[in-house]
Amino acid sequence: MASDLFRLPAWADRTRDRPARRPPDLLHGLEDWPQPLQGLALALQQVALQSVYWLLPGLAATAYGLGPEGAMGMICLCLVATAVGGVLHGLWKGPVGSGYALPNVPTPVMLGSYLAAASAGISFAAAGATLTVAALLVLALFLAVPRLLGLIPAELSGVVVFMIGVSLLPRALDLALRSGGRMPQGQSLLLMLGIVGLMVVAVILRWPLSRFAVILGGAVGCGLALALTEGSDGSQKFLAAAPWFALPRPVLPDFTGITPGLLLVTVVGCLCCLPSWLGDLLTFQRTLDAGWTRPDPAPLRRGVVAGLLSMALSGLFGGFGAGTSSACVGLAVSTRSLSRVITFIGSGILLLLACSPKLVALFVLMPGPVAAAMVAFVGCFMLAGGTALMTARVLDPRRTCCVGMGLAAGLMALARPDLFLAYMPQALVSPVTLSFCTAFLLHLLTLPMVKRRTSATVALEARSFDAFVQEMAGLWALRRATADTISHALLELAEILMARGLEKATLRASFSDGLVRVTIMHEGPVLPTPSMRPRAEDLAGSAAAQESFAMWLAAREAVECHRRSRNGVSSVTLEFRD
């Protein structure tokens, strides 16, 4: 019993991950090692894109009244947090990390929490402590409720990814006009469009430098921006004053300054990060596998654990809060380079930059139109990726309403946020957060309306089980592959029960939102847990080893497997995605 108590959940076993079929046009897969110069250039491209989000900790520093040096110190701490987050996501062994190449950025969702803390007079150290506690609370909730991610279908993740892309476009326009008066607005917009056009042409025509389209556009754009601007806006003095080398100074958390109100806002912010991370993970997973038809939940769960641990670590040393970068995922999809080595190289670059404020200043002082072109370029790919996720399966009327209302709420928040601020906390009034909350609540409220159930007491023989599954598949229009998988799983369970001397069992099944849940109820002790490492020798071993092996055969294609026993009646519940 003690070994079962401390046993890792099934999703922590990486041997159960669904094998991916490599797309024919993929340049760098997960395990591939790019050429050193290629890997460095691709990593620099990601870092250039990540630098756009370094404005967020700068805004938080401004809210706290910190000067330029304080803002630079906060950005350097953010670089450490984003580097650690990228490494945690890329881990290919153990229960933490999806194994995917997911660079991190300072997450916009946490900006509302820090601004609320600053307006309430709560110190930055207390805000970091609040972030750590909130991330750990959400992690405990995630581990205690295994079906938490199962409640977020792919189309809702698509809503989040799509709204992230939509939210990037106004930010791109703001960046394009951020020239300090040194360049006319019309000229700034034309420069931004020209850089975007250069990137698009490079990708479409598959130029030799198409994988480095962002670097190519950035280099050309910086040159043109310098040629078109005149005068000085103080950037040279700021750059000259920044030191070449200085270790980041962590801001130790102040747990005594945590307030219930700020903790609640931060917990909500962490929860709202989950669909964004899930959307990034699904986009990456879908691009990585040419035969993708449905999500593989195990990497998604490990990715969420990595994200929440990264959040908690960020708060411990004042790193603002880091999350996966949808823009970098869009960049990886556009360049067809998905190697985790690129992310590890990028994390190393970020750690080096964190120790060199002068180099950080170079990225911070990037011309507005150039940064805007980078954001707009990847925003287009996020719009396409979100659309693909929303339409990954047929949208029935209920799903259409959930998706449509979520998009409508997000677009209204983008157009008139002031109308929502009078009734909602600032942390919730963002296009991404509000669109997800609307779609998710509507999804939960309407889910019972389409839930279907059936049950029967059958003899423990193949004919009875096949008849039950075929009738269920016909009534609910299940895919043939799903019905065959359920039938095989039930037959494996029936063999265990027949070996115990039982003659009949009760079957219960329900179907809701693409999830089939089948329960087999029987008398006697509960069936064992599926074997974590099945071996052929188990078939000739003890009865317990044979049952564990058969349970593995039954549950290997299931999304979840739950066992319970009450009042002498035991049950096994298997969940399958249709």
Q: How do strand 569-577 and strand 560-566 relate by DSSP bridges?
A: antiparallel
Distances (CA, A) of 360 to 46, 52, 70, 243: 14, 11, 13, 10
Q: Mean pLDDT score of the chain, rounded to an integer?
A: 78
Q: Which residue has the tokens 């490990």?
A: 302
CATH assignment at residue 464: 3.30.565.10
**Is 433 part of a structural domain of the chain?**
no
Has residue 93 been placed in a domain? yes
Euclidean distance between CA atoms 95 and 118, whole angstroms: 36
Residue type, 367: P
Q: How far from 268 is each of 274, 313, 317, 419, 486, CA to CA, in Å? A: 10, 18, 21, 20, 37
CA-to-CA dists, residue 318 to 79, 130, 324, angstroms: 11, 11, 18
Regarding whether 232 and 351 lie in a shared domain, the answer is: yes
Over its C-alpha atoms, the chain yields an Rg (Å, rounded) of 26
96 secondary structure, DSSP code: S
Clarify whether residues 351 and 212 are in a common domain. Answer: yes
Note down pLDDT in tens along the chain; length 578 residues.
334 444 566 677 677 777 777 888 777 877 888 888 888 888 887 887 777 677 667 667 766 777 666 777 778 888 888 888 888 888 888 788 888 888 888 876 676 677 667 767 788 888 888 889 988 998 888 888 767 766 777 777 778 778 777 877 777 777 677 654 466 777 777 878 888 888 777 777 766 655 566 667 777 777 777 676 654 455 566 666 667 877 778 888 888 878 876 787 777 677 767 777 877 888 888 888 777 766 777 788 888 888 899 888 888 887 778 888 777 787 788 777 888 888 888 888 888 888 877 777 766 666 777 777 777 776 776 787 778 778 766 677 888 888 889 889 888 888 888 788 777 766 567 777 788 888 888 888 888 777 788 888 888 877 888 888 888 887 777 778 888 888 888 888 888 888 888 888 888 988 876 788 899 888 888 888 887 677 777 777 788 888 888 888 888 778 778 888 887 788 889 888 77
Per-residue model confidence (pLDDT) at position 512: 77
CA distances to 11, 131, 251, 303 from 278, in Å: 15, 20, 30, 8
pLDDT score of 208: 60
Asked, for residue 426, whether it belongs to a domain, the answer is no
DSSP state string for 259-310: -HHHHHHHHHHHHHHHHHHHHHHHHHHHHH-TT--S--HHHHHHHHHHHHHH
Domain match, 173 and 291 both: yes
The pTM score is 0.63
Instruction: Look up the domain containing 487 and give its range.
Output: 451-577
Question: Do 334 and 459 share a domain, yes or no?
Answer: no
Residue 2 is predicted with a pLDDT of 38
Same domain, 381 and 465: no
- DSSP assignments along 197-258, one per residue: HHHHHHHHTT-TTGGGHHHHHHHHHHHHHHHH--S--SHHHHHHHS-S----------GGG-
Of 388, 415, 431, the residue that ends a domain is 388
Q: Coil, helix or strand for 105? A: strand
Is 10 contained in some domain? no
The verdict on residue 526 lying in a domain is: yes
Domain-embedded: residue 239: yes
Q: How far apart are CA 37 and CA 388, in angstroms?
A: 33
Residue 257 included in any domain: yes
Backbone angles phi, psi at 122, to 5 degrees: -85, 135
* Total Cβ atoms within 10 A of residue 175: 25
User: Hey, is 471 helix, strand or coil?
Assistant: helix
Same domain as 464, residue 352? no
How many C-beta neighbours within 10 Å does residue 264 have?
A: 14
Percentages of the chain per state (helix, strand, coil), in multiples of 5? 65, 10, 25
Domain count, the chain: 2
* Pairing between β-strand 515-523 and β-strand 560-566 as defined by DSSP bridges: unpaired
The C-alpha atoms of residue 558 and residue 297 are separated, in whole angstroms, by 10
Residue 131's Cβ-side half-sphere holds a number of Cα atoms within 13 Å equal to: 39
Query: What is the token pair recorded at 54?
Result: 């370094």
Owner of token pair 């270790």: 247
* Domain end point (choices 363, 388, 413): 388
* Final residue before a domain boundary, out of 371, 388, 405: 388
What is residue 275's predicted lDDT score, i.e. its pLDDT? 74
Within-domain flag for 525: yes
From CA 278, how far away is CA 280, in angstroms rounded?
5
